[in-house]
Amino acid sequence: MAAITTIDFTNQNSLEAAGAAHAEGIQKLEIVIDTNSANTNGLNIAAGDFPIFDIPGGWMHLGTAVEVLTAEGGTCTMGIGITGSLETFMAAAACNLNAAAGTIVTDVDAANASAGAAGGYLTAAAGITVRCDVQNAMDAGKFRVTQLWVDMNGKGTTGFANQI
């Protein structure tokens, strides 16, 4: 099984960290996207989607949050999801990247959060790539995307007392 990774698409202008919450079987993923720096280095973040995290099979999504660090300065929204279903975790209409700095948006697609109707999104065996789906061109905004995932693959139930 592949490890969870943060995709470094901004040519060293993103902050990557497993974070203090990292523990065996739990991953807190965080990336800061600075569109001004990215554009300066030749990566134009225009309307469209781009990859941010790779998640292996058998992991459950617990939550997604987006924090605006610097407002874009014009209309700009973003969805977060996976290829083929780009609004799996966060619908674009609810994530305003031109909001005031410090604004945090969380889990606007409740069906795929831990307390949602579907009980959480579980990745397929092949794994997935989490993608940002920007609805407008960006050149000034800066924002942080954070996700929490838990490994649902069995590891501790083989050959122990909790086996039937």
User: Is residue 55 a contact partner of residue 149, using CB atoms and an 8 Å limit?
Assistant: yes
Strands 128-134 and 78-82: antiparallel
Model confidence pLDDT, tens digit, residues 101-139? 999 988 766 666 665 655 678 888 989 999 888 888 888
Strands 78-82 and 59-70: unpaired
What pTM does this model have?
Answer: 0.76
Closest CA relative to residue 4, chosen from 104, 95, 24, 15:
24
Model confidence pLDDT, tens digit, residues 14-72? 334 444 333 468 889 999 988 877 655 656 677 678 888 999 999 988 888 999 999 99
Query: Quick check: 3 pLDDT over 60?
Result: yes
Q: HSE (CB half, 13 Å, CA atoms) of 59?
A: 27
